[in-house]
């Protein structure tokens, strides 16, 4: 009887361990899973590492046009490893003379400019003026049926 309980417990433990996965590694089973995984990991990173992580992800995606190659490259990568891949992709694009990256002196400048652009976009988004009427109505946001 104890052997059955022990066996059941080990099977249950193995299933739990397999289901949990690595929370700090990118799951690149498919493109949608990779995007979800990237966003989940980014939300749990310290604020100073979120932008480099996201920029690196999109630089690698831009460099590897073929979906299968991209997924194979990023699968199981940690944030640090992905940032290193992004820095390498930036260096390769810059040395190849890509006009999009030629204006940046280094990786840090790319991150600084990306952060500024993101801040400007955030400032440009303004609240709907109808929200400031002083009464809590939401029916004006309803679409015609």
Tell me how far the alpha carbon of residue 44 is from its chain's centroid: 10
Average pLDDT over residues 25-46: 93
For 54-63, how does the pLDDT look when each residue is reduced to its tens digit (9 = 90+)? 999 999 999 9
Q: What is the pLDDT of residue 109?
A: 93
C-alpha–C-alpha distance, residues 87 and 95, integer Å: 12
When computed from its CA atoms, the radius of gyration of the chain, rounded to whole angstroms, is 22
pLDDT band, very low/low/confident/very high, at 130 (cuts 50, 70, 90): low
Q: What is the DSSP letter of 46?
A: -
H/E element holding 88?
helix 79-95
For 96-126, how does the pLDDT look when each residue is reduced to its tens digit (9 = 90+)? 888 888 889 999 999 999 989 888 877 555 5
């Amino acid at each position: 009887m104890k052997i059955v309980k022990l066996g059941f417990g080990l099977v249950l433990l193995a299933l739990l361990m397999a289901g949990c996965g690595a929370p700090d590694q990118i799951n690149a089973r498919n493109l949608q899973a990779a995007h979800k995984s990237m966003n989940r990991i980014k939300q749990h990173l310290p604020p100073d590492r979120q932008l480099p992580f996201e920029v690196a992800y999109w630089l690698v995606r831009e460099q590897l046009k073929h979906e299968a190659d991209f997924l194979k490259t990023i699968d199981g990568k940690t944030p640090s490893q992905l940032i290193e891949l992004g820095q390498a992709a930036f260096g390769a694009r810059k040395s190849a003379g890509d006009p999009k990256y030629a204006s940046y002196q280094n990786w840090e400048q790319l991150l600084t400019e990306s952060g500024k652009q993101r801040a400007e976009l955030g400032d440009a988004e303004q609240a709907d003026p109808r929200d400031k009427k002083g009464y809590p109505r939401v029916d004006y946001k309803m679409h015609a049926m």
